[in-house]
Every structure is written in C-alpha cells, then in structure tokens.
Amino acid sequence: MSQVLLDQGEKVILYNDEQKDLEQTFREDMKKRGGKIVFSEDPRPYLKKSKLFIISPGIPFTTDVVKKAREEKLEIIGEAEYASRLYKGHWVGITGTNGKTTTTTLVSRMLATLPVPTTVAGNIGYALSKELEHMGPESYVAAELSSFQLEGMTTFHPQIACIVNITPDHFERHGNMENYINAKAQIFAHQTAEDVLVLNYDNEPDRKLASRAASRVFFFSTEEKLEKGAWIEEGNFVFDVDGSKHVVCKVSDLKIFGAHNEQNVLAAILCCHFAGVTVENMEKVLKAFEGVEHRLEYVTTIKGVPYYNDSKATNTDSAVKAIEAFKEGHVILLAGGHDKMTDLTEFMQVTARKTDALILLGEARQRFLKAAQKNGVKNIVMCDGSFEDAVRLAYDMAKPPQVVLLSPACSSYDMFANFPERGRVFKSIVHTLKKEAGEEA
C-alpha cells in the first residue's frame, strides 16, 4: 500500500502503535522516497499534518488512533477503498462467511478466458492497490473482500457483487450479527440499477438483503428451482436470467465435492455470465478445477484412510459444511484452536451425527468439550499436547472406512501465524506418517 501511495506522488507516514520488524530494503525504500515510519509514538502530531487516514483491514475502527483521527476530522478509509478509487476497470466483488476464496478463484479462472487483461486480488492474498495499480479500464478483477475490508468502504462500486453466504462469524470484531451483516452489505451499498448483485437464496440473511439493493438481484440455489438465477436441475448446473435457460455442465463433472462447493459454482456461473464469459468456457474451467489449498483438500491415503486438510475452516459454519460433505460419515475430526466464541450448537449436533471420534486441541478445547458433551458427541478425545500429538492420535485410531479431517472451526492464532501455516504443518505431519507406515510413493 505505502509503495503505491509513493508511486502516486503522495507523502506517506506509516504508523503503528507497537514496534514491528520490517525488512531493511523496505525501510530504505521508504526513506529514499520521502516516506516516514513511526512506531509507539503519540499519533496526533502526524494526524494533524495528514489529509487521509488509510486503515489496515486488521485494525478495528474502535482503536485509539482511529478515534484520534476522527477528532482531527480526517477521512478514514480502508486499503480496498483506496484501490477502488485508483482502478477504472471492471469489478467482480465477492464476499461471504465461507466459500468466498473458492468462488473468487473460480471467477478469476473464468474471467481469464475473456479477451481482456484480468487479475485476482484482495483477501485472497494479493493487495488490491498493488495488483490494480497498472490495470486499464477494459480489464476485470475478481476481488475477494472480507468484512474487515468492507468496513473501510465509503464509495466502492462494483459492477458485479456477490455474497456467497452469511453465517455468524467475527463477533470479536463486529460485536453482533447485525453489525456483521451490515459490514458485508457494504459490497453493494453504492451499486445502481445498472449493476448486478448475486445472492444465496438458500441463506436467509442473504435473501433478506435483496430488499436493500438498488441493483438487479439474481439468486442461486442448490435446493430450489428458481424463476431466474442459477440452480441444479436433473444433475446439471443451469442458469436463466432472461428467459433463456443454459446448461453449463453436470454436477458429477466436478473434481471438488460437497453442497457448499455446488453453491460456490452457481455463484461463479452467475457472476461470470454478467462479465461476458461463455458457457463453453465456464464448463472448461469447472471440469478442470481441483479446489483451493486448505479447503477440503485431499492430502493422501494411509492404510486405506484418506486425510483431508480443511484448515481454512476458521468458523463453525465452514466446519459443518466440510463434515456434511462426507455423506457416509465415519469422520475422525480434529477441531479447536483460537476460539471465536460463536455458538457451537449446530456444529456439535452435526459432529454427533457424522463423526466416529472428535479430537479437541488448542485454546478452545475446554469450551468445545462442554458443548460436545451437551449435544451428545460420544467419542471425545482431549489433546493437551502439541498439534502433531493430535494428528498422531487421529492416525492411531483411524481405520477404513473412516476419514481423518482437520476442520478446526477456529482461527489458528493460538498455535500458528495463520490458517495456511496450520494446513501446511498438517500436510507435512500426514506425509511423515505415510513414510513411517512404509507407504511412501
């Protein structure tokens, strides 16, 4: 972000209220180009000389420095909002509690079939401001946007917006469901009647948001046949937005599985239809797509037992979708981590029906234990040791036709820097176990 601002000829002050380790080359570049880095100082002298306050997505709007910025009457926006002011091309903005990374990845691959420059950025791992800096007005971006990023939007206007689903999450930041929904709704707050909003008909909070939209609303559903939108009919993904029905491909053509992934596919189909992607190119992308890393990712099979990495399941709804993807059940589930303090009832009810064993680890394990016992989960194993100890416990007890699933329903911050690190460690341990079992390929 700071480099982009400097590229624009702006004078930049990078502020943090705690000391941070920064690469020497970054520090030198900032100094060379007239930027300033400030740690652990009173921010007010710097705020007084500033014209714009750009907040990092990880910083809540309730922090002291933001309050001081408001006192100085500064405009406060997020990095994604600034990027939207720079970029004059076309947006497909995607958010949701779960599924937004898979949907964004699918959309980006479909957009890549268009005869114009395309890119993917946002919460998916590429900073919007940097990725879009040199993209022209004819280009398209598939932008994954978190509630944290959307909180900092004030004028953002995507031509195509999509909310994959909304379920309880991030109450530690937003406080309650109403505030969380309102943050998500920022994705379409500035749309007009010329724009498109794609919503999940099967999700009640999504469905209710339609009445708040000024844009054209199209639903997708895995449970209902719709008058217009996208749905599943006779085992096919179909869509109809103008009285003409199109069949894209068979559900059985997918390499990914689970009802949640079927929703992601339908959302991507609608978004990309309005971006101009052909049905033939949608079909090619869907048949080739093998999923995203850390989301119900097949790792390997040991002694007839498949292992799946779903480290991206950082909330209960995401974990429920992963567990339910295994139609036959017989899941050995690894769950727990840094607790988001959301309700565990549905998660534990599904766990009781679908799992043969629940292994609990991390900071959340005691609260998860009480909820599991309350909801009738029978075979509960508490792991007070390391993450590797928990994976080895699963290995020791798993027998065919069981599967071992890491789907924590928690963030990773008690043991890891982030969920990708947790997923990579899980895969490394599983591959080590495979070698120890004498099954190394």
* Residue 97 is labelled as binding a ligand: yes
Rounded Cα distance between 394 and 374, Å, is 23
* Residue 101 is labelled as binding a ligand: yes
Residue position matching structure tokens 């799946």: 308
Question: 111 near 142, Cβ under 8 Å?
Answer: yes
Beta-carbon contacts of residue 95 (< 8 Å; ≥ 6 apart): 144, 145, 146, 147, 150, 162, 163, 164, 184, 187
| Vertex 185: Cα angle to 179 and 190 (nearest 5) | 130
- Helix, strand, or coil (residue 124): coil
* Residue 119 is labelled as binding a ligand: no
Backbone angles phi, psi at 118, to 5 degrees: -135, 160
Residue position matching structure tokens 């997020």: 78
Cα–Cα separations (whole angstroms), residue 194 to 142, 158, 184, 274: 19, 11, 20, 11
**How many of the other CB atoms lie within 10 Å of CB of 55?**
20
Rounded Cα distance between 53 and 169, Å, is 27
* Residue 96 is labelled as binding a ligand: yes
* Residue 427 is labelled as binding a ligand: no
Rounded Cα distance between 346 and 179, Å, is 22
Rounded Cα distance between 376 and 374, Å, is 6
* Residue 99 is labelled as binding a ligand: yes
Question: 342 near 167, Cβ under 8 Å?
Answer: no
- Binding annotation: 96-102
Residues annotated in the binding site for ATP, as ranges? 96-102
